[in-house]
Amino acid sequence: MNLTECYEKIGGDYEDIMSRFKSESLIKRFLPMFLSDPSFNELTSALEKGDAGTAFRAAHTLKGVTANLSLAKLNSVSVEITEMLRAENLSAAKEYYPAVKEVYDKTFEAISQFKDEMQ
């Protein structure tokens, strides 16, 4: 899978990332770093514990990471859960979380595959 195909598979915005990073080599260097970002796991843990403050910070970080990497589909759901948590609506965030997890898992899997094929 090439970089364009990866972005297509995950619902990312390839044109946006290229307009900001200007080269595929930079994207190839930074995109795999997404795999080690702890914000999704922190969000998961905080929601399980009912810790709205930590969940908000984790969701907000995930939103920023996905925006910076032009991961549009994951960014969209990250924005939604961030706003629920900003409003301190923990129950709505918990109900919405499976939608975030589904998109996150698909994104993680595709980037992992891309990284493996790059090597």
Quickly tell me which residue has 């301190």 as its tokens. 88
Which of 76, 66, 74 has its CA nearest to residue 31?
66
User: 108 is written with which tokens?
Assistant: 């993680």
Check if the beta carbon of residue 86 is closer than 8 Å to that of residue 33: no
Show the CA angle centred on residue 89, arms to residues 88 and 94, nearest 5°.
125
**Domains of the chain, CATH where assigned:** 3-118 (1.20.120)
Amino acid at 20: R
State the pLDDT at residue 79: 98
State the pLDDT at residue 116: 93
Q: Express as a percent the part of the chain with pLDDT over 70.
A: 99
Query: For the whole model, what pTM was predicted?
Result: 0.94
Cα gap 62→75, rounded to integer Å: 8
The pLDDT of 62-85, averaged and rounded, is 98
Which of 52, 97, 50, 54 has its CA nearest to residue 78?
97
